[in-house]
Amino acid sequence: MTHSLEGHYSVEQSARLIRNYRYAAERMTRLLGGWLALTPEVSAKLLMGRHVWDNAQHADLFGRRLPELRAPAQVSEPSGPAFVAFMEALESPETPELTVERLVGVYRVLKPHLLAAYEQHLGAANAVYEPPTCRILARCIEDERRHVAAGETVLGHLLAADGLHDRAVAWQRRLEDLLAAAGGVTGEGLPPVAPRSAVPEGEGSAEAREFIRLETAGSPWALPDDLRAAVQAFGDALVNGEAGALDRWIAPSARSGQAMDPALAGVRLSDHRVVAVARLGAKRIVKLRAGGPSASVTLVLRWMPGPDGWRLESIDLARAHVASPA
């Protein structure tokens, strides 16, 4: 007897679907990362670099959900050989002049399809044991909507060049045929995909327009005055070894996961300077280099605005060099 709360998917079916999703997310993470070095267009490079992290997070979330569905953790499973063939075709444009094909495959074929598949699963999910899956799917849906909008914005910029539109259309049709033959990511058919005209503009589009602006302007982003003061104060505290002064710049929401790298313990620094700046929506990525008599470190600081001014969302040690004692 089927209970009214069972939903559309059994535990076993849900686990299989999540393995299918993880396969697509994991492989997309690898191909986006691999494409960064061979993509010459700054807007496309920044777009893929921004999204590769989100895709990696999706794969991890799916993988960690599996043991809760009585399945081994962090396992990926394609729906069948036809979907593997689709992914191999999507990954095949590997020369610098094929940026449009790379973006079309990810942002006009794969991501819109994954978005539709996640929405379909969310709508039919089991009300008793699927709330954790629903939260993961909701996160992925939000990210994929933003990614699709950003990808469409960058593609619109790149496709303004003569002759590229026909190439984009032909490549999209080829990939869509392969995806249909595979039955989509789950092998069970293709859920309806929203037309490109229905993709709402939002944070993703705004972010992409800034990538385009950075590509065409040829100059770095200026720091707002209040952020420049915050970076200066953070750098001064770093050079002076003032742990308390450093902590005050870390956002409360990020404080539990952020701490200065142990590699900096005992390092003597005497000066600091900003060597790179990037803008991601309302946030700023600042690369700060600090040096001293026998050491140099480079930190990547992600700043976000808030009611108390600019605060650090993350601190990453990009490089550290400490001279060995004689």
CATH of residue 115's domain is: 1.20.1260.10
- Same domain (yes/no): 56, 174: yes
- Same domain (yes/no): 171, 116: yes
Domain boundary among 217, 239, 265: 217
pTM of the model: 0.66
Buried b (16+ CB within 10 A) or exposed e, 62-82: bbebbeebebeeeebbbbeeb
pLDDT of residue 162: 72
Sequence-distant (6+) residues with CB within 8 A of 262 are none
Residues of the chain with pLDDT under 50: 1-5, 325-326
- The verdict on residue 3 lying in a domain is no
Residues 43, 209 contacting (CB under 8 angstroms):
no
- Same domain (yes/no): 184, 106: yes
Instruction: Provide the total of helices (H) and of strands (E) in the chain, helices listed first.
Output: 10, 4
296 Ramachandran zone, left/alpha/beta (phi>0; psi -120 to 50): beta
Looking at the 3D structure of the chain, how many domains does it have? 2
- The verdict on residue 199 lying in a domain is yes
- Same domain (yes/no): 202, 244: no
- Same domain (yes/no): 126, 239: no
- Same domain (yes/no): 241, 111: no
- The verdict on residue 5 lying in a domain is no
Domain boundary among 160, 190, 217: 217
- The verdict on residue 316 lying in a domain is yes
Beta bridge partners of 310: 305
- Same domain (yes/no): 240, 179: no
- Same domain (yes/no): 276, 240: yes
- As a residue count, the chain comes to 326
- Same domain (yes/no): 254, 163: no
pLDDT of residue 280: 83
Q: Please, what is the average pLDDT of the chain?
A: 87
- The verdict on residue 2 lying in a domain is no
Which residue range is the domain that position 246 belongs to?
Answer: 225-322
Task: Convert the pLDDT of each residue in 251-277 to its tens digit.
Answer: 887 765 555 555 566 677 888 888 778
DSSP string, 188-242: S--PPPPPGGGPPPSHHHHHHHHHHHHHHH-SPPPPPHHHHHHHHHHHHHHHHT-
C-alpha R_g of the chain: 23
- Same domain (yes/no): 185, 246: no
Domain boundary among 217, 251, 281: 217
- Same domain (yes/no): 210, 274: no
- The verdict on residue 195 lying in a domain is yes
pLDDT of residue 266: 63
- Same domain (yes/no): 83, 99: yes
pLDDT of residue 278: 83
- The verdict on residue 173 lying in a domain is yes
- The verdict on residue 172 lying in a domain is yes
CATH for 229: 3.10.450.50
